[in-house]
Amino acid sequence: MNNITAKYIADYLLSYSDPDIGDIISNMKLQKLIYYAQGFHLALYDTPLFEDPIVAWEHGPVVESVYHDYKKYGSNAIPIPENLDDTILSTDQKDLLKEVYEVYGQFSAWKLRNMTHSELPWLKTPQNEEINIDLLKSFFKTLVK
């Protein structure tokens, strides 16, 4: 399996944001982007992008370790990481993350929250429990066919 962590994916996604034009990513928004990245990676490649569990919280899917790393920013913009090594990702993974950002990054944190609340992985998982990886994969496969 790969050595890619959810924190690395979070930092990679943050690198797309552009605060100078008001394109910022809060912790809530970042959580949903990570969730979509994991879901689509599962659907397209049948393997997880990262091993960290995604948990069904009140406001949608969350990778708890990433949440805790960035909670100090509250609902404000998370700074763009510096010196990010992008050689860890394959070209396919970079393309996938770029597409996830282009499609889902345009939405507000609350819009993304509401979107995940209407999707089966969050709906079928009891609050504060881990979202089953097979449930994620099967749901996202319905979106890529």
Q: Are 10 and 66 in contact (CB under 8 A)?
A: yes
pLDDT given for residue 44 in this prediction: 97
Largest CA distance in the chain: 39
| Beta-carbon contacts of residue 74 (< 8 Å; ≥ 6 apart) | 26, 27
Sign of CA dihedral 93, 3, 37, 69: negative
In the chain, the percentage of residues whose pLDDT exceeds 90 is 88
* CA–CA distance, 66 with 71 (Å, rounded to integer): 8
pLDDT at 2: 60
Q: Which amino acid belongs to residue 43?
A: A
**Domain ranges within the chain, ordered by starting residue:** 6-144
Q: Report which residue type is found at 46.
A: D
- How does pLDDT run across 13-34, given as a tens digit for each residue? 999 998 788 788 999 999 999 9
> Which of helix, strand or coil describes residue 132?
coil
64 has pLDDT over 80: yes
Comparing CA positions, the residue from 87, 76, 103, 74 lying closest to residue 16 is 103
Segment 2-6 shows an average pLDDT of 85
